[in-house]
Amino acid sequence: MATASGVSAGSVLQLPSLRVPAKRSLPRRTAAGAPAGFFFVKSDVVYNRRSYHQFLPLKQRGGLQAAVLRVTSPLVDDEGERKQMAEDYGFTQIGDELPDNITLKDVMDTLPKEVFEINDVKAWTSVLISVTSYALGLFFIAKSPWYLLPLAWAWTGTAVTGFFVIGHDCAHKSFSRNKLVEDVVGTLAFMPLIYPYEPWRFKHDRHHAKTNMLIEDTAWQPVWQKEIESSPFLRKAIIFGYGPIRPWMSIAHWLIWHFDLKKFRSNEVPRVKISLVCVFAFMAIGWPLIILKSGLAGWFKFWFMPWMVYHFWMSTFTMVHHTAPHIPFKSSEEWNAAQAQLNGTVHCNYPQWIEILCHDINVHVPHHISPRIPSYNLRAAYDSIKQSWGKYVNEANWNWRLMKTILTRCHVYDKERYYVPFDELVPEESQPIKFLRKFMPDYA
């Protein structure tokens, strides 16, 4: 899942920041211990004593190779064509490409200073909103007849996603001026999600530093063509993973990235261990209490199903924020920070109740311009960005066509086209993608 040109025997394989003979495999270690049923592994490619992290759908074998289908770049200069592309993809606007000479500091300097200010009252109000809405959701689950449980789960899972956003602010030092308060609140907010706070913080910082950079971005990566040329069984797993079950792929990401001490620097390990102890303590105490009070069925109703809704939002927000046929992943040599953060991040509007419960995490462009902007100031920051840089932003309203575009088109990396869909490369084994094309609504 990184950039590579077509390779033949004896030629040179091009990866970002390094060149190695194609005949020689890069040394790598593949994450072990992934539970049965998950086919997505994280690979650490090590070259010249530097580790290149990849989130891979399966264990790679042999060299890497990318699709080599030469067509026109998805980016277009004509305004009319961009409007048509936006309509086709489910966007309301596809922005112009930001000029190469614009830096991230140039964009940041246009933001008003007030959007960086931490307000303790607003920060703790967000905590109150999440705790209250989550408690209301649990009450709703307890009192609902079976046919209303899906609604109760949807509310409660969305409410607990707000806990994640609070921890997210803590990790970016935008919740409190007191670092200890942020560490405690962030850890507590993540505990009901079984999410280790410090491991996530360390990896998430890299996502911001390397947004949409091939190999380096720790959030999402495209698929490599070599991966779908593997065994039929694993190829089908990849197709399902980047197709129908992609809205829950964050579960695989959670399992693979956050529990293996070998993935962290030695100076990070002590804090990682504390987070892991907190998570395991919640599992060892919280889960038995739930089961003791309401049985296994209660654990399923009160914890597992809201947790699945949370992961739906975790995956969906991440996908929509940075994935579209016109948004490229680039090698380190080609990557431009301002373009990646402004052009490569999508502002998407959701139903208002979702935005309230999730503390405006969908207002994501200013968050990538500066992660130090608190969640309650994101809208003011985005208004400023629209005034100064509005022609460059990508915007959408969450809709079926937008999701259908991501799930059916954004699959295999290609340098020229950005993405090649599975059913174009392996049509005979892409029934899940064909099913989505046929039966997913196309409303925008």
Do 223 and 1 contact (CB within 8 A), yes or no? yes
Tell me: pLDDT of 246 over 80: yes
Residue 119 CB coordination number (10 Å): 12
Q: What would the mean pLDDT of 259-282 be, rounded to a whole number?
A: 95
Paired strand residues for 395:
93, 347
Residue from 59, 263, 279 nearest 190 by CA: 279
Residue with tokens 């914890």: 303
Residue 72 to residue 68: CA distance in whole angstroms: 12
Residue from 259, 248, 246 nearest 199 by CA: 259
SS3 143: helix
Tell me: pLDDT of 77 over 90: no
Q: What is the pLDDT of residue 122?
A: 98
Tell me: pLDDT of 315 over 80: yes
Q: What is the pLDDT of residue 75?
A: 62
Do 346 and 321 contact (CB within 8 A), yes or no? yes
**Residue percentage of the chain with pLDDT more than 70:** 83
**Residue percentage of the chain with pLDDT more than 90:** 75
Q: Which residue type, as a one-letter code, is found at position 166?
A: I
Q: At what angle do helices 269-299 and 179-190 cross, to 10 degrees?
A: 30
Q: Which two tokens stand for residue 389?
A: 């840089």
Q: What is the pLDDT of residue 22?
A: 35
- Write the CA distances from 415 to 66, 123, 160, 342, integer angstroms: 8, 42, 38, 20
Q: What would the mean pLDDT of 105-112 be, rounded to a whole number?
A: 96
Q: What is the pLDDT of residue 226?
A: 85
Tell me: pLDDT of 26 over 50: no
Residue from 227, 242, 260, 266 nearest 436 by CA: 242
Residue 281 to residue 274: CA distance in whole angstroms: 11
Paired strand residues for 414:
418
* Better-scored residue on pLDDT, 71 or 329: 329
Do 333 and 16 contact (CB within 8 A), yes or no? yes
Residue 326 to residue 340: CA distance in whole angstroms: 12
Q: What would the mean pLDDT of 154-174 be, rounded to a whole number?
A: 98
Residue 195 CB coordination number (10 Å): 22
Residue with tokens 């089961």: 291
Backbone angles phi, psi at 197, to 5 degrees: -65, -55
Q: What would the mean pLDDT of 17-45 be, rounded to a whole number?
A: 36
DSSP 8-state code for residue 151: H
Question: Per-residue confidence at 233, pLDDT binned at 50, 70, 90?
Answer: confident
Residue 417 to residue 428: CA distance in whole angstroms: 22
Q: What is the pLDDT of residue 39?
A: 37
Q: What is the pTM of this model?
A: 0.82
Q: What is the pLDDT of residue 76?
A: 64
Residue from 195, 139, 136, 207 nearest 165 by CA: 195
Tell me: pLDDT of 90 over 70: yes
Question: Per-residue confidence at 422, pLDDT binned at 50, 70, 90?
Answer: very high
* Better-scored residue on pLDDT, 34 or 76: 76
Q: What is the pLDDT of residue 412?
A: 94
Question: Per-residue confidence at 86, pLDDT binned at 50, 70, 90?
Answer: very high
Backbone angles phi, psi at 397, to 5 degrees: -105, 135
Instruction: Count Cα neighbours of 285 within 13 Å in the Cβ-side half-sphere.
Output: 8
Q: At what angle do helices 179-190 and 197-209 cross, to 10 degrees?
A: 110
Q: What is the pLDDT of residue 57?
A: 39
Tell me: pLDDT of 295 over 80: yes
Paired strand residues for 350:
none
Q: Which two tokens stand for residue 214?
A: 């091939």
Q: What is the mean pLDDT of the chain?
A: 85
Q: What is the pLDDT of residue 51?
A: 39
How would DSSP label each residue in 208-233?
HHTTTBTTT-SS--PBPHHHHTS-HH
